[in-house]
Amino acid sequence: MSNNSYNLNVDHSFDYILLVRLVVWGYVGMALSLFGIVGNLITILVLMSSSLRTISTNIYLIALSCSNILFLLIFLPSYSIRYLLGYNAYIANQSPSAFEILLTRLPITPVYNTIILSIIYLTIGLSIDRLILIKFPLKAKCILTKRVTLMTILLIYIFSIIYCIPYWLEQRYVPEIQQCRLTNIGKKIHKYTRIYMYIPIVHVIPFVTLTCSNITIIQYLIATKRRKQSLCGKKNKKIDNDYHITLMVVVMTIVLVLCQSPLLILNAWHTIDPHGSYKSLRFHTLNSFGILLIVFHISTNFLICLVFSKKFRSTLIQFFLNILSKDQQNFDTHTQTL
């Protein structure tokens, strides 16, 4: 009787986790991802305009949007489409489909980790960029040149790729069981890559760096606001624009930290109790929402730019007006030829 009850509980927990993933990753994740891809594409197009693409902050935002799009393009098939198409097969405990086998064979984990690491460190670069601008306003033009910014972004991508090399060697696909298993190298390095390296480099160092830089930037924003109030309503367009761009960067970094925090807690939990966390219904439920928060963060950068950057809004409006005027001209030309 007790064994039957245990099996029922296991089956119920498994079905519950699948349902949560279907809703959270399948439906909600799909909607957020599509919105995020469109939003990040628009962000790139706007920031690539001649008046914006030379600013170091915008160069970081362009690189960040590129990484965001790559992440969402991986999330869609490996999470959303996987559960939308395979939910019924999982429930019925059927053999994996060709699509499922293809996803299992692809090196999704190392690519996923490379992109997410680049997003985190590009956000750090963006935050430090604004910190240098407010701490050394006179020297900022010499320090934050286009060449230096592009070199920094390139180094971030190189670092992300090198850091994730062990993940490429960690697992291999076994055709007989249609699953991935740890390689001999993977068994030796698994503990180091997942515990001693992952948590400090992906979570702790970025969290501490972003917290320290944000505190300094927020202090600057408060001082700037008080200065504006002391000027009795007199407006300086450049100061006002810099203020809102800096505020935008602060909001982006806060959203990143808040959305990454649940996964930090879950990774720490899994490190302390790997077997218990794997069997925990709460762990898998929180993990589903934790990954969704990453998708949410990546998909909302466009909205943050839209809300806080007046220049971004005006350029976006002008961009759409140019498209509409070109369409109108093409239509007029076509009607005249008829």
Q: Check residue 224 and give its pLDDT.
A: 76
Q: Check residue 254 and give its pLDDT.
A: 93
CATH class of 2-337: mainly alpha
Structure tokens at 13: 């927990």
The tens-digit pLDDT sequence of the chain (338 residues) is 334 433 434 456 888 899 999 999 999 999 999 999 999 999 999 999 888 888 899 999 999 999 999 999 999 999 999 999 988 888 888 877 888 888 878 888 889 999 999 999 999 999 999 999 888 888 888 888 889 999 999 999 999 999 998 888 777 767 666 666 667 776 777 777 777 788 889 988 999 999 999 999 888 888 877 777 666 555 666 667 778 888 899 999 999 999 999 988 888 888 788 778 878 888 989 999 999 999 999 999 999 999 988 888 888 888 888 877 765 566 455 455 54
* Number of C-beta neighbours around residue 208 at 10 A: 11
Q: Check residue 276 and give its pLDDT.
A: 81
d(CA 193, CA 162): 13
Domain parsing of the chain, residue ranges: 2-337
pTM, rounded to two decimals: 0.87
Q: Check residue 67 and give its pLDDT.
A: 96
- Maximum pairwise Cα distance, the chain: 84
- Three-state secondary structure string covering 217-273: HHHHHHHHHHHHHHCCCCCCHHHHHHHHHHHHHHHHHHHHHHHHHHHHHHHHHHHHC
Q: Check residue 236 and give its pLDDT.
A: 62
Rounded to the nearest 10 degrees, how much is the dihedral formed by the CA atoms of 187, 189, 191, 194? -110
